[in-house]
Amino acid sequence: MCAFVIGSTEFVVPGLLPEIAAGVHVSLPTAGLLVSGYALGVVVGAPTVTLAVVGLPRKPTLLGLLGLSVAGNLASGLAGSYATLLTGRVVASLCHGAFFGIASVVAADLVAPERRARAIAGMFLGITGANLIGVPIGALVGQQLGWRVAFDGIAALGVLSAVGVAVFVPHTGEGQARAVRRELRAFRRPQLWLALAMTAFGFGAVYCPLTFVVPLMTDVAGWPRSSVSWLLALFGAGLTVGNLVGARAADHALLPALRWILIGLTLSLAAFVVTAHQAVAAAATLAVVGAFAYATVPGFTARVLVTAGPEGATLASSAAVGAFNVGNAAGAYLGGLTLTATGTAAATSATGAGMAAVGLLLAVISARLQRRESATVRGPRPVPDAPEPPFP
């Protein structure tokens, strides 16, 4: 439920971008910076807020973090100017990294090690549900009743989710304070930084076209504005399928799965440049891009946890959320630059394909480095004994 609320908070803006731009009297690229502002707030909040709460009992901490999301959404709904709206978005974003960082650790702790990626994916189903249900409904409500009502509705769901946490979330890891120095020690590992960079480039790629999905699907593909809600639901369905399939693949073989998923994401984004000009093909490609994009999420998160080790899991998990949002901010910003330079939203997918290709390259480098490290640990293969001479 909390993931649904926070996911709706993060993703609702692209579906309401024209209404928000008109409501606060800014251009579409400027309104798109609301996505970057939220993402950058996550980047700053993920490590700082996590370090502040890392030693606190997890359940009350989750409730307090959710309160930040509710407050930010209420401020956004009441905003009378672009600056106030951006401030509300940043307030809501401050909970994001720490919340999902702690929630990922809780989810992973509740299951056997071989089911960690699926447990994380189960928690992240709230975000895919937000894209499947929450964002399309938010877009519809925003069109019919005004974009402010959408933010108010998300805040109300946040209050309901807090009740769910209070009643149902178990007390796990309470009182197990970890030394900040021990948490930070994990960041000496090159593989952790490779995992974080892979996350930023790989997932951020989808935000190049997603931030401008409304002009992409209406002005370029030719769908009417009234179709945006179900097109966003179609995208959300792709996210849900990708999340589940990607989790199983990651549990089976983590790095090989990530490489194949990133290949699929790169190719589908490249294809979107062409298919965006035909309505049905654009809708189908939107769903495929969503599936490949969210197939990376459990794998990226699990890879960060694996490379960080148990002693750095909490802070590294929050850093992973920050890395997702570094990518989101970069994708939205680069997509805006592409839209301004080319004048067409179709070109934003080409920029996204380039980002995904960089993520793929980092995955290949990480796999080669891991093989080299494994060979070093095992040492050289023993030379077999010379064969006995044949009996004369």
Tens of pLDDT, residues 120-177: 778 878 887 887 788 888 888 888 898 999 999 999 999 999 999 888 887 765 544 5
Q: Which residue has the tokens 């945006």?
A: 228
Answer whether residue 255 shows pLDDT above 70: yes
Answer whether residue 92 shows pLDDT above 60: yes
Is residue 121 domain-resident?
Answer: yes
Q: What is the pLDDT of residues 46-75, one digit of tens each?
A: 778 877 887 778 888 889 999 999 999 999
How far is Cα 278 from Cα 223, in angstroms, rounded to an integer? 9
Is residue 131 domain-resident?
Answer: yes
Q: Which two tokens mark 347?
A: 């070109």
Is residue 392 domain-resident?
Answer: no
Is residue 388 domain-resident?
Answer: no
Q: Looking at residue 229, which CATH number applies to its domain?
A: 1.20.1250.20
The domain in which residue 22 lies consists of 2-169+179-374
Q: What is the pLDDT of residue 200?
A: 94
Q: What is the pLDDT of residues 7-52, one digit of tens each?
A: 899 888 888 888 899 888 888 888 888 888 888 888 888 778 877 8
Answer whether residue 294 shows pLDDT above 70: yes
Q: Average pLDDT, stretch 222-250?
A: 87
Is residue 24 domain-resident?
Answer: yes
Instruction: Show the DSSP H helices in 205-347 as ranges.
Output: 207-210, 213-215, 228-252, 254-275, 279-308, 313-342
How far is Cα 329 from Cα 296, in angstroms, rounded to an integer? 18
Mean pLDDT score across all residues of the chain: 85
- Is pTM, for the whole model, over 0.75? no
Please give the tally of structural domains in the chain.
1
Instruction: Give the CA distances from residue 49 to residues 3, 61, 101, 215, in Å, rounded to whole numbers and listed in that order.
Output: 18, 11, 11, 36
Q: Average pLDDT, stretch 77-100?
A: 89
Answer whether residue 384 shows pLDDT above 70: no
269 falls in which pLDDT band (50, 70, 90)? Answer: very high
180 falls in which pLDDT band (50, 70, 90)? Answer: low
Q: What is the pLDDT of residue 176?
A: 47
Q: What is the pLDDT of residue 311?
A: 67
Q: What is the pLDDT of residue 263?
A: 96
Is residue 350 domain-resident?
Answer: yes
Answer whether residue 391 shows pLDDT above 70: no
The CA-CA-CA angle for residues 302, 305, 306, to 5°, reads 85
Is residue 390 domain-resident?
Answer: no
Is residue 134 domain-resident?
Answer: yes
DSSP track, 61-105: HHHHHHHHHHHHHHHHHH--SHHHHHHHHHHHHTTHHHHHHHHHH
Q: Average pLDDT, stretch 238-259?
A: 87
